[in-house]
Structure 1
Amino acid sequence: MSTAPRPRPYRRRAALGALVVAALCSPQLVATSSAAGPDTLTVRIHDIQGSGRISPLAGEHVTEVAGVVTGVRTYGSRGFWIQDPEPDDDPATSEGLFVFTSSVPTVSVGDAVLVSGQVGEYYYGGAARGGLSVTQLSRPSVTVVSSGNPLPEPVVLDAGTVPAAFAPAGNPADGGSIEGLSLQPERYALDLYESLEGMNVAVEDARVVGPTTPYHELWVTVRPGDNPTPRGGTVYGSYTSQNPGRLKIESLTPVSQQPFPSADVGDVLSGTTSGPLDYDEFGGYHLVAREMGEVSPGGLEPQSARRQRPGELAVATYNVENLHPGNDQEKFDRLATGVVEHLASPDILALEEIQDDSGPVDDGTVTAERTLERFTDAIVAAGGPRYHWRGIDPEDGMDGGRPGGNIRNVFLFNPERVSFTDRPGGDATTAAGVVRRKGHAALTHSPGRVDPASPAWERSRKPLAGEFRFRGRTVFVIANHFNSKGGDQPLYSRFQPPNRSTETQRLLQAGAVNTFVKDLLAVERQARVVVLGDINDFEFSATTEALTDGGVLRSAVLSLPPQDRYTYVFQGNSQVLDQTLVSPSIRRFDYEIVHINTEFADQASDHDPQVLRFRP
């Protein structure tokens, strides 16, 4: 919001009835009668919004701006939206505006009002996050002129109105910002949404591409032909495939008064959903529903992997989302069911986000024995094998993640199918090395950490390396959980293309793992190496390029059709964050991403597991 000194206000001195008629029904410039004083400029909503992203009147105090109330928000950022039912002929200027009241508004939908207040630009989450601003009036004075007025017809958002191009390229002279550019709503989706900011919009019979979240929101697409998955989602397959038809849906009705609908990917939000178009830091432009459609189930079911054959080694990875002893038994049981019924009890399972025995309590605890005992017990109860585990306790507070949780990577393995080669000495700060033993590569420490002292792993999870034996052959497995993408500028940033600042650390991490694999292959060219886990980056990213540098690894996800490549759903985009990569000696393999979580409102984790089967 602007902090500039308040300039001289715009004023109008006509009777309220005449003002409303003038403001809602007459041309943009209105002269008052001589009896009322000298001629003055009447400010309409489109004057405040202007034809760009920043109001030309930012910092000004305006008086008696006329509009009809189209939505009232009594929670969160409290306020209401007004819209001028008589638009100008410029498609770049919005006719809607948010009025921030701070307290619960006293107006109702359908009220014709006159609002005086300060014009400002508000950045949700702060300007430093890189998001766009919301033009609004604050510290308002509101006069209700009449009630029960009809609302302006909503602008229907669909494939015919939302452009296929996402956003213009930012101005290099302005650090890549698009804020200073004139809007081209017929050409770019972000420009269209900005030109409709605060206005009454609608979607009809929209397919759900992001399930209902704990924050009472879901994502639909209004461009259903854009990069669809076979299961109803929308694939984010490149940095230029942002899928501009994605739109978040929230409700103006508090959940205490009306539950938010539960929806999975592939369901349809049928009928009409309408309300003001808003913007925030958690998804950009979104529809705040005054009228909510009904969810029509699409019948999506969780997937199950086939069981490995006797000669196949099955290696899987699963981010179990901050698992600790304080979780209720249901979470342990559901995760265990996922391992047994949906992953078919893999021989080796790399886990990410195993927390210490006190969970998020920051009390110096670093062991995770209780966490792993409860999880392996739950797997047995679900009909699975009695897994053994190997891991290395981190130094307290040094591996990032939830404060106090000390998350780490852990191996589970089925001793009836595979054995673990223990080579003692590995700890939180000691690096595992590669040596030659009887003509073959071996680890100096197993389990051991990959280069834990490197700056690449500062406040981040260190990779866990282990040496396994299956049917007389050695397989090296490296479990990973790279640096989070939290901190990158969002897709809907005012900087286009957005800055991926967190990629810098992941590139260092990928380089460290790649070097370790090269060390293994330098000792034994045909060494069988599996690198897997939550890479926190896409299959087309520079991080993946760094991991595979020199041809020492290839990403198994590339063996799948493009529309099947996703392990995570974020803001309606189905995308790859978890990967499994293999060394050249693993020539043939069968790889699956098992969709059991991310597409569903009711999920045991926010990631889908993946499993690789091959014959060593």
Structure 2
Amino acid sequence: MKYFTSLLGASAALWAAVSAQSIAQINGNKFLSPYQGQAVTNVSGLVTAKNNQGFWLRSTAPDEDSRTSESIFVFSSSAARTAVVGNIVVLNARVTEYRSSSAYLFLTELSSPTNITVLSTGNEVVPRVLGQRGLNPPTQQYSSLDGGDVFAVPNNQSRISVTNPTLQPTQYGLDFWESIMGELVTVRNPRALSKPNQFGDTWVAGTWRTTGNNNRGGLTITDRDANPEAIIIGTPLDGSDNPTDTKLGESLEEITGVMYYAFGFYRILPKTNIKVTGSRQPALPPATRLRSSGQCDGITVGQYNVENLYSGSTNLAQIGDHIANYLRSPDILFVQEIQDDNGPTNDAIVDANVTLSALRDAINAASSRTNYSYVDIDPVDDQDGGQPGGNIRVAYLYNPDVVRLRNPNPGSSTQATEVVNSRNGPRLTYNPGRIEPSNPAWTASRKPLAAHWETVESRGRGWDRQSSTFFTVNVHWTSKGGSSSLHGDPRPPVNGGVDQRNQQANVTGAFISSILRADRNAAILSAGDYNEFQNVQPIETFERVSGLENLDEVVGTPETEQYTYLFDMNSQELDHLFVSPALASRRRAQFEHVHVNTWVSYDDAASDHDPSVARVDVCGGRW
């Protein structure tokens, strides 16, 4: 059922009628119509498209103001049944602002049309071509209310529905899409920017300028730029279905449809369904080039969010194949979202030995030459968030022939490991151990797992035996649940969990900085799913407090190739690896994101995250 923000039960005879307003005047040059709630008469236009809820009218006498759309949706299922595309009609109606959620923008439309009269039939309907004649969406800013940064903190400082700013379609993405609301448009040479949702809604860009272009054809989030030039293709007007297996970067057939707003996003409702005309090659990325030397000068480190993995997971074999054959079995693997032994069954089981053993077996079954050992710390039941009953946690898999825990002394789920000085340098009171597990920063969230390692290699005997030591911190910060749409009413958009992630950044960063205070040359790696973008406050806080450096920046990964996740229109990086200055200064460090999941269809992906792998030199420690 469709709900309106104003009362529709009043008789049309009681409405304050405004005679012979043009469609451009009804839309106005702001987000909300200056005539909302009023009756308008003798509104004329060309029927350009229809669906089972109504039809779209385009003015036959457009004005010269690029801010005022010349088209509008007429909401009436009964009128839709008799509407004919190509007819010019005149009608009376009421101007209504509609939205289904307070987090969305309003859609200006005409409701309860009466006295619909056909003036002429068989008129040509010509769509406007996006990317031509000034129809070029802005490429960086979404709204004047974002203050220049769509990810600014604090966010949700204003509302478009309250401020109702005057449209500036050449400067702001939301203003651009609003300025052509209801228009019949064509997208030439479209390409898919992400995977479709379960309804087949697919983000695209066409033959207009785009920023953040990555080599696969997607658009990557960069500093203050979340790609407002992208547009989603929604439900086809003819009742057909869009494909749900479209992949990142695929070429699509030309799309023609009407501009609309629904479910929190501007969108084009196409005349018919999306058709794929070409796919990117190769279908899967090559395996990493990075191989372990087996010694301290070339340790390989992987990270992988394995998405709610347990022994009964259908993605288990595929995850094992990725680790063995695409990451080449790194010496240490940081994994996130390891579930307990019976997965989402919500009982008192928290142990994950069966899960981790099953993962090791899957890696071995994929012909890995590494027979991994593993270590984790069980959480308190139902305290760490994630899928109910799953008790997800972070864990390490490691090659015992290359590295091992130094003086292992595991802590419990509630014991906090601390950094202490010793004759041989800093060490952990619990190894591995959780970082401040009782701190409120970790409420309903995963606790980081710190560990102190040593390489197994040795030169000499007895007191002269040498080994290199290093520290790791495996993180999975709280999710972005509760975020609002980039096309939504709150500005800047709500970034769900950002304050908690900033707290987690301070706690994690302070722990790491205590290691560096004890030994400024300590080799430290922190990796995992940070659930945040590089240039947003929590990550900036973490780098500042911890003293670590982003390995992407250290090795010079192109900014547009820094992605491990697809969401809405954006390729984005939620998974990061940071290193201490001692490791950053060793120019031999290497780092790669392996796009085994972002390049394939939704059904073919083993996880919603891509893994990454690094090669670093940790030589230096002696005991």
Q: Is TM-score (shorter-chain normalized) higher than 0.5?
A: yes
**1:145 CA drift (Å):** 5.5
1:610 maps to 612
2:555 maps to 1:570: no
2:415 maps to 1:430: yes
RMSD: 3.3
Residue 215 to residue 368, structure 1, CA distance change in 2 (3 Å)? farther
Residue 399 to residue 122, structure 1, CA distance change in 2 (3 Å)? farther
Per-residue Cα deviation, 1:394-426 (whole angstroms, up to 9, x for no partner): 222221222332221111112232223464452
Residue 447 to residue 98, structure 1, CA distance change in 2 (3 Å)? farther
1:155 maps to 128
2:54 maps to 1:80: yes
**1:203 CA drift (Å):** 0.3
- Partner SS for 1:170: helix
1:21 maps to none
Residue 535 to residue 41, structure 1, CA distance change in 2 (3 Å)? same
2:514 maps to 1:522: no
How many residue pairs match? The answer is: 576
Aligned pair partner of 1:302 in 284, 288, 295? 284
2:252 maps to 1:269: yes
**1:523 CA drift (Å):** 2.8
Question: Whole-Å Cα distance in 1 between the matches of residues 366 and 187 of structure 2?
Answer: 43
2:327 maps to 343
Residue 316 to residue 193, structure 1, CA distance change in 2 (3 Å)? same
Task: Summarize the alignment of residues 130-279 of structure 1 with structure 2, pairs less than 5 Å apart.
Answer: 131-137=104-110, 149-150=122-123, 152-158=125-131, 160-164=134-138, 166-170=141-145, 175-179=157-161, 180-222=164-206, 223-239=208-224, 241-252=225-236, 257-258=240-241, 260=243, 262-270=245-253, 272-279=254-261
Per-residue Cα deviation, 1:546-565 (whole angstroms, up to 9, x for no partner): 21225621110213122222
Question: Whole-Å Cα distance in 2 between the matches of residues 369 and 148 of structure 1?
Answer: 72
Contact 2:232 2:266 in 1 (8 A): yes
Contact 1:465 1:477 in 2 (8 A): yes
Question: Whole-Å Cα distance in 1 between the matches of residues 474 and 390 of structure 2?
Answer: 19
2:466 maps to 1:492: no
**1:388 CA drift (Å):** 2.0
Residue 122 to residue 445, structure 1, CA distance change in 2 (3 Å)? farther
Residue 217 to residue 437, structure 1, CA distance change in 2 (3 Å)? same
- Partner SS for 1:585: helix
2:269 maps to 288
Task: Please tell me the residue identity of whatever aligns with 2:305.
Answer: N
**1:450 CA drift (Å):** 0.7
**1:267 CA drift (Å):** 2.2
**1:386 CA drift (Å):** 2.6
**1:382 CA drift (Å):** 0.7
Contact 1:423 1:443 in 2 (8 A): no
Contact 1:2 1:59 in 2 (8 A): no
Percentage of pairs with the same residue = 33
Contact 2:549 2:579 in 1 (8 A): yes
| Unaligned ranges ≥5, structure 2 | 148-155, 458-466, 619-623
Question: Whole-Å Cα distance in 2 between the matches of residues 335 and 519 of structure 1?
Answer: 35
Contact 2:200 2:241 in 1 (8 A): no
**1:73 CA drift (Å):** 4.8
Task: Summarize the alignment of residues 480-559 of structure 1 with structure 2, pairs less than 5 Å apart.
Answer: 480-500=475-495, 502-549=497-544, 552-558=547-553, 559=555
Contact 1:9 1:63 in 2 (8 A): no
Task: Please tell me the residue identity of whatever aligns with 1:455.
Answer: P
Question: Whole-Å Cα distance in 2 between the matches of residues 242 and 394 of structure 1?
Answer: 35
**1:577 CA drift (Å):** 1.2
Task: Please tell me the residue identity of whatever aligns with 1:579.
Answer: H
**1:610 CA drift (Å):** 1.2
Contact 1:10 1:63 in 2 (8 A): no
Task: Please tell me the residue identity of whatever aligns with 1:136.
Answer: E
Indicate the larger mover: 517-526 or 587-596. Answer: 517-526
Task: Please tell me the residue identity of whatever aligns with 1:603.
Answer: A
Question: Whole-Å Cα distance in 2 between the matches of residues 265 and 477 of structure 1?
Answer: 33
Per-residue Cα deviation, 1:92-138 (whole angstroms, up to 9, x for no partner): 222333455689964566275777765433334x21x3x32222355
1:357 maps to 341
Residue 552 to residue 220, structure 1, CA distance change in 2 (3 Å)? same
**1:268 CA drift (Å):** 1.7
Contact 1:420 1:467 in 2 (8 A): yes
Question: Whole-Å Cα distance in 2 between the matches of residues 310 and 396 of structure 1?
Answer: 38
Aligned pair partner of 2:68 in 93, 115, 135? 93
Contact 1:110 1:151 in 2 (8 A): no
- Partner SS for 2:539: helix
2:98 maps to 122
Contact 1:597 1:604 in 2 (8 A): yes
Contact 2:141 2:173 in 1 (8 A): yes
Task: Please tell me the residue identity of whatever aligns with 1:367.
Answer: D
1:414 maps to 399
Residue 116 to residue 400, structure 1, CA distance change in 2 (3 Å)? farther
TM-score normalised by structure 2 residue count: 0.83
Question: Whole-Å Cα distance in 1 between the matches of residues 204 and 233 of structure 2?
Answer: 7
1:462 maps to 447
Question: Whole-Å Cα distance in 2 between the matches of residues 237 and 225 of structure 1?
Answer: 12
Task: Summarize the alignment of residues 364-403 of structure 1 with structure 2, pairs less than 5 Å apart.
Answer: 364-384=348-368, 385-403=370-388
Task: Please tell me the residue identity of whatever aligns with 2:19.
Answer: L
Per-residue Cα deviation, 1:183-206 (whole angstroms, up to 9, x for no partner): 222443321210111221110002
Contact 2:136 2:209 in 1 (8 A): no
**1:442 CA drift (Å):** 1.7
**1:510 CA drift (Å):** 0.7
Aligned pair partner of 1:110 in 68, 72, 85? 85
- Partner SS for 1:132: coil
**1:274 CA drift (Å):** 0.9
Question: Whole-Å Cα distance in 2 between the matches of residues 577 and 517 of structure 1?
Answer: 20
Contact 2:237 2:269 in 1 (8 A): no
Contact 1:9 1:61 in 2 (8 A): no
Contact 1:264 1:300 in 2 (8 A): no
| Unaligned ranges ≥5, structure 1 | 13-38
1:24 maps to none
Residue 447 to residue 120, structure 1, CA distance change in 2 (3 Å)? farther
Question: Whole-Å Cα distance in 1 between the matches of residues 332 and 99 of structure 2?
Answer: 46
Residue 507 to residue 148, structure 1, CA distance change in 2 (3 Å)? same
**1:346 CA drift (Å):** 0.7
Contact 2:186 2:257 in 1 (8 A): yes
**1:469 CA drift (Å):** 2.0
**1:535 CA drift (Å):** 0.8
Indicate the larger mover: 460-469 or 497-506. Answer: 497-506
Contact 1:252 1:290 in 2 (8 A): yes
Residue 118 to residue 612, structure 1, CA distance change in 2 (3 Å)? same
1:327 maps to 313
Contact 1:399 1:407 in 2 (8 A): yes
